[in-house]
Amino acid sequence: MAHIAVFLMAERGHLLPALGMIAELVRRGHRVTCPATAPFTAAVTGCGATAIPYGTTLPADLPSSLYNATRLALTEAESALPQLEETFRDDRPDLVVWDIAAWTGGVLAHRLDVPNVLVEGLLSSNEHWSLGTEVLPPRTFDPAAVRFFTRVHGFLGSALPEFVSGARRRIALFPRQFQPEGDTFGDEVVFTGPCLTERAFQGTWKPPDRPVVLATTGTQVCADAARGMPWHLVTKGKVLSPAINVETHDEVPQLAVLEHASVFVTRGGMGGVMEALHHGVPMIVVPHMTDQRLNGRRVEELGLGVLLDTVTVEGVRSLVDQLATDSAISARVKDMRRMMHRAGGSAAAADVVEEELAR
C-alpha cells in the first residue's frame, strides 16, 4: 500500500473534479492524504482519504483575471507550505499528486525528492497552444509584475513554466477533443476527463415532473425568465420573489441535478463544463474569469452550447428552448459525452498514478 499525497487548491472548481481519482486510489488500497480547509473536509473524508487541516488565504471568490488569480495562488502556497511541510516530512509520501494551482504540492515533492504527477483542471499547454498566451495580455515592463515573477521564482526554485513542466506526467481532467490542438499533445499528458464520484456531502435531490434547467450564474435573471415557463429552474444563490417553478439552494447538489437537466447556465469553469458534458447537457456559458471564457469559446466552437457576455430574460427563454430542442446540438453533446466516457475518468487517472509509483 502506497502513501499518496494529493494537493488541490481550496476552491470547488479545483477540488471537486478530482474527488473520483482520490476515491479510486483509496478503493485500490492506497493510503491517500489530502490537505483540506474546513469547507472541504467532508468532501475529502467522504472519499476515504485523510484530510490534513490547514488555513487558507483564498477569498470566497477568485478574481476575473487569471494573472490576479495566480498572485493569489502564490500567496496561498507561501502560507500553506510552512503549515504542511513538517507533517509530510514526518509522514513522507511515496508520490505527490498536485493541482496546477496548488504549488505547495510541487514544491514539497521536490524538497522530499519523491515523484510527482500534475493534475490540470485548466486547458493544457504545449509548443502549439499556450494557455498563458491566450489569457495573459503581453506585458510591457511593469515593476510590479517583475517583482511578482521574481517572487514566484524564489518560491518555486525556477520559473513557473519550467516548474510545471517538471512533472513527469500530467492528468488533464477533460477529454483530448476539448483541448485546442489536442492531437499535438504526447503521452506525457493523459486526457482522462473528469474524475467524478458520489457527493453525499451535498445532500440529495428529487427531480420534478417537468424539464429542468440549472443556473449557477445570472440566477436572478434566470429566475425572472423562468416565471410562467414550462420548465423548472434550480438555482444556486438567493433569488428575490421566486416563482413557483424556481427552486433555490445555497449549495446545489449539482451532479444530481445535471442528471435530469435539459440546459445548464454556468460561468464555464472546467469542472462544471465537464460535469454537464458527462451528463449530456448543453450549456449557456456566461464567464467571469478569463479561463472560463476560453472554455466557453471551446463549448461554442464544438457546438455544445453558446457563449454570452451577459444574460437577459428574453435571451434565457429563447436559448433554453433552442438548446433543449436542437437535434444537432444534442447529437454533438452526446458525441462528446461518449468521448469523455471512453477517456476513462477516475480509473484512468488512478492508472497514471500507479504507473508512476511503479517506475
Strand runs labelled E in 153-260: 169-172, 189-191, 212-215, 232-236, 246-249
Residue 160: the pLDDT is: 86
Choose between 347 and 145: higher pLDDT: 347
Task: Say yes or no: 174 and 253 in one domain.
Answer: no
Residue 237: per-residue pLDDT: 87
Contact 195, 21 (CB under 8 A): yes
Same domain, 100 and 47: yes
In the chain, the percentage of residues whose pLDDT exceeds 70 is 98
Q: Residue 104 and residue 9: Cα distance in Å, rounded?
A: 10
Q: How far apart are the first and last CA of the chain?
A: 15
Is 130 in the same domain as 52?
Answer: yes
* Three-state secondary structure readout of 74-111: HHHHHHHHHHHHHHHHHCCCCEEEEECCCHHHHHHHHH
Mean pLDDT of 229-246: 96
Question: Do 233 and 206 belong together in one domain?
Answer: yes
Residue 128: the pLDDT is 94
Q: Same domain, yes or no, for 170 and 312? A: no
pLDDT at site 44: 97
Cβ atoms of 317 and 229 closer than 8 Å: yes
User: pLDDT: is 131 or 305 the higher one?
Assistant: 305
pLDDT band at 256 (very low <50, low <70, confident <90, very high): very high
Higher pLDDT pick, 200 / 194 = 194
Query: What are residue 249's phi and psi, to 5 degrees?
Result: -140, 145
312-321 pLDDT tens trace: 999 999 999 9
- Which residue, 255, 195, 193, is CA-closest to 18? 195
pLDDT given at position 243? 97
In this structure, are 207 and 98 located in the same domain?
no
Q: Kindly state the average pLDDT of the residues 202-218.
A: 95
262 and 291 together in one domain = yes
- Whether 218 and 353 share a structural domain: no
So what's the pLDDT on residue 141? Answer: 61
The contacts of residue 97 (CB under 8 Å, 6+ apart) are: 4, 5, 6, 7, 21, 105, 116, 117, 118, 119, 171, 353
| CA pair distance 286, 225, nearest whole angstrom | 16
User: Residue 282 pLDDT > 90, yes or no?
Assistant: yes
Mean pLDDT of the chain: 95
pLDDT of residue 164: 87
130 and 204 together in one domain: no
Mean pLDDT of 229-233: 98
CATH number for the domain harbouring residue 266: 3.40.50.2000
pLDDT digits (tens, 9 = 90+) for 169-180: 999 999 999 999
Domains in the chain: how many in total?
2
Predicted confidence (pLDDT) per residue in 6-56, tens digit: 999 999 999 999 999 999 999 999 999 999 999 999 999 999 999 999 999
DSSP of 178-194, one letter per residue? GSTTGGG--TTEEE---
Domain that holds residue 312: 200-341
Grid look-up 424539464 returns: 211
Q: Give me the pLDDT at residue 114, please.
A: 96
Task: Tell me, yes or no, whether 218 and 305 share the same domain.
Answer: yes
Residue 326 near residue 312, CB atoms below 8 Å = no
Give 107-147 pLDDT, tens digit per residue: 999 999 999 999 999 999 999 998 888 876 666 568 888 89
266 and 140 in a common domain: no
pTM: 0.95
Residue 167's closest CA among 95, 69, 74? 95
Q: Stretch 137-163: mean pLDDT, rounded?
A: 84
26 and 120 housed in the same domain: yes
Instruction: Decide if pLDDT at 247 tops 90.
Output: yes
